[in-house]
Amino acid sequence: MRLDKFLKVSRLIKRRTLAKEVSDLGRIQINGKIAKASSIVKEGDFISIQFGQKILTVKVKQLVESTKKENATEMYEVIREEKIAE
């Protein structure tokens, strides 16, 4: 599954276009490597996303084409959430 679609379906980022913009800025990494919106996400991958002064790291648990809002968090597991010192 494409990175931008995974981020939208899992509701980590609200819109697919926003996910693409964030990845184009180099703020998303898959397994420690900077990822593009078209990068392929697999189960077991670690995704790090920089939101302003916060970095969220999640592990991909499952890939589904669409899901309800209540079940979106089942697609990933939060590994770490840290603030960046300015």
In the three-class reduction of DSSP (H, G, I as helix; E, B as strand; rest coil), residue 16 is classed as helix
Q: How far is CA 31 from the centre of its chain?
A: 11
Query: How confident is the model over 20-69, as pLDDT tens digits?
Result: 999 999 999 999 999 999 999 999 999 999 988 999 999 999 999 988 88
Is pLDDT of 80 > 70? yes
The span from the CA of 35 to the CA of 86, in Å, is: 24
What topology is assigned to 3-83 in CATH?
3.10.290
Q: What pLDDT was estimated at residue 76?
A: 94
19 close to 3: Cβ distance less than 8 angstroms: yes
pLDDT for the residue 85: 72
**Domain residue spans of the chain:** 3-83
Whether 86 has a pLDDT exceeding 80, the answer reads: no
